[in-house]
Amino acid sequence: MKETSKDIILKNIAAHKAFFSTHKTKNIGFRLTQLKKLKKAIFQYQEKIETALWKDLHKSPEEAYLTEISIVIGEIDNHIKHLKKWAAPKKVTSSLHLIPASSKIIYEPLGTALIVAPWNYPFQLLINTLVGAISSGCCSVLKPSPDTPTVAKVMEEMILENFDSSYISVVHGGKETNTILFAQRFDIIFFTGSPRVGKVVMKAAAENLTPVVLELGGKSPCIVDADANIDIAAKRIIWGKLINAGQTCIAPDYLFAHESIKAELLDKIAENIKLMYGDDIDDIKQSRFYPRIVNEDAVERLSGLLNEGTIHTGGEIDMKEKFIAPTIIDNVQPDFKIMQAEIFGPILPVMSFSHINETIDYINKNEKPLAFYYFGKNKNAKDVLAKTSSGGACINDTLMHVSNHHLPFGGVGNSGLGNYHGQYSFFAFSHKRAVVTNPTWIDLPLKYIPFKYFNIIKKLL
């Protein structure tokens, strides 16, 4: 795909700033119209979007709808339903010393937003974020990933056909384009990607004191305790791991299994792989429900993680097909290469434990993860949650916290900064402006120099 030139990028940004200065986007009716227009456009382009996701990632129409399209539609519906309430000024209590003044918070759009999305959920992670920008009243520059060019082209067509280019634009390119974009003065940068690039974004944004939302990743742990429901745990873990062939930022990255149930758990995970995708490698390859790795470089990187530990299940690779079989690696040690960075593939390394404190100590010694999964009794789960930290978490499930529009989604520490989804997306692109309104029919002398009533003021404060 042809990269967008620097001149066009600068021209787009200038057009957005000019459009924003007209104050059209601050009108709630305008925002609702744009949200409805986006929803209609998605349905019109649904078949093209699904076809593009199949071509770039071998995602089935079912998976494309469930993990990309439906999430965006649900987000739009949520914003349309609640935007007027979210955007209304909020009255707050005034302190005693402010009487008879009133206080409120008003929500202002930040301005022009840069939204940079990754390749693993190329439609959802770009357009879902755009929903928040539209809802809050921002103009947007959208930057899709070059690693999923078919999806990027379809999204560009959809945006160009339905929105004023001075309001929303799409730019293309790789590292050089990102460098140009990050050097510009935006009012907010929303970046989804790796912690490594997240640091680059934050450093560049600091030059202009641009606020950032960083949706990153990390090694999300999954713990299965001795008292867990093994049948349910096996099914839900491998489902969460193999969606998009493991190329999911909140996928269970590694498994901690209690030593008393580990063997049974791994066997049942292997059984569930067969139930979902087929009995042998040829079945899995031919399954339209099993996606492919994004490119050959990623396949090569992942293949280098299979040399340590004991392969319990899988391990087969087809470079030409960009195929890696669902793989379980047992007897993994913390110093193995596979435990040093986020896997982002259909490989599940397994470590065992005898006491839950072993898992807690290990997790807390490493960077805070984007997601955390625990299978076991709720009483124990509360204790584990209290002693660890993560962006989000599920008890006796995986991934599902991302589907609740009433929950904030985001990381903590190395796994991200800020959050979004639902009302939190509206907040992400808005400035909360504090306003005090003081009447003029009375002017109390308490605050004025030479502070004749200082003792009274001290009691009021």
CA angle 328, 341, 266 (to 5 degrees): 15
Residue in 75, 249, 342, 394 annotated catalytic: 249
- Residue 95 tokens read as 């302190």
Of 199, 222, 36, 20, nearest in space to 110 by CA = 20
Q: Which amino acid is at 395?
A: I
Asked about 215 being catalytic, the answer comes back as: yes
Answer yes or no: are the C-beta atoms of 211 and 432 closer than 8 Å.
no
Asked about 394 being catalytic, the answer comes back as: no
Residue in 50, 63, 68, 215 annotated catalytic: 215
Query: Counting every residue, how long is the chain?
Result: 461
The DSSP code sequence of 371-435 is EEEEES-HHHHHHHHHT---SEEEESSSSGGGG-TTS-EE--GGGEE-EESTHHHHHHTEEEEEE
* Whole-number Å distance between alpha carbons of 79 and 73: 10
* Whole-number Å distance between alpha carbons of 181 and 114: 8
- Residue 120 tokens read as 């693993």
| Terminal alpha carbon distance of the chain | 62
* Whole-number Å distance between alpha carbons of 370 and 281: 31
The DSSP code sequence of 170-218 is E---SHHHHHHHHTS--SEEEEES-HHHHHHHHHHHHTTT--EEEE---
Answer yes or no: are the C-beta atoms of 214 and 201 closer than 8 Å.
yes
Phi first, then psi: what are they for 20, rounded to 5°?
Answer: -65, -35
Chain centroid to CA 102: 38
Chain centroid to CA 225: 28
Distances (CA, A) of 278 to 270, 275, 384: 11, 6, 35
Answer yes or no: are the C-beta atoms of 184 and 161 closer than 8 Å.
no
Which residues, in sequence order, are CB contacts of 293 under 8 Å at separation 6+? 245, 247, 299, 302, 322, 323, 324, 345
Distances (CA, A) of 94 to 108, 177, 435: 21, 48, 11
**Is residue 355 exposed (0-12), middle (13-18) or buried (19+ Cβ within 10 Å)?**
exposed
> Catalytic site residues?
215, 249
